[in-house]
Amino acid sequence: MSDHEDTLQEGYFTSTVRAAVNWGRKYSLFQYPFVTACCGMEYMSVNSGHFDISRFGAEVPRFSPRQSDLLWVVGTINHKNAPTLKRVYEQMCDPKWVISFGVCASSGGFYDNYAAVPGIDHIIPVDVYIPGCPPRPEQIMDGLMLLMDKVQKGPLMIR
């Protein structure tokens, strides 16, 4: 739906408030890094000064899910730590978003075995999938910008 159609459907006041609130949301993402494996190296890299993720307002990690609204799932998830991931997601307040970082988190990657979860979307909803083993920092920032676009176009009230 275009911005113009949004405005007609919601009304001018509501669509303007929604755009302003979502603009604030997309530039103040508080990330919770759920890091389990080697993709963590690229996660640390993209959080370094060289790539300057703070220009997106997403540089501050929170190590409490209750203070976070963006869950980065970084690395392989196995059946043993899957309940912990689900619990962390459930403890985050709405609105909240999930980025699946790398092929292991997205599909199990080459760990096609009894221990690995074949994609975190078997456990929790995912907003953006970032491919790669590991993904390059440029891919990660591209995934982050995709999420920011989704946040901007999202609803005002999240149930």
Contact residues for ligand SF4, defined by CB under 6 A: 37-39, 75-76, 102-104, 109, 133-134
Q: Indicate the residue among 18 and 75 with the shorter CB distance to ligand SF4.
A: 75
Helix spans in the chain (H): 3-10, 12-26, 40-46, 82-91, 103-107, 137-153
Nearer to ligand SF4, 20 or 41 (CB): 41
CB of residue 74 to ligand SF4, shortest distance in Å: 7
Residues 6+ apart with CB under 8 A from 99: 70, 71, 72, 73, 126, 127, 128, 129, 130, 143, 144, 147
State the minimum distance, in angstroms, from the CB of residue 109 to ligand SF4.
5
CB of 152 to ligand SF4, least distance (A): 28
133-103-52 Cα angle (round to 5): 65
Q: 39 or 124: whose CB is closer to ligand SF4?
A: 39
Q: From 159, 99, 111, select the one nearest 135 (Cα to Cα).
A: 99
Q: How far is the CB of 39 from ligand SF4 (least distance, A)?
A: 3
Rounded CA gap, 80 and 116, in Å?
9
Our CB check for ligand SF4 shows the closer of 29 and 104 to be 104
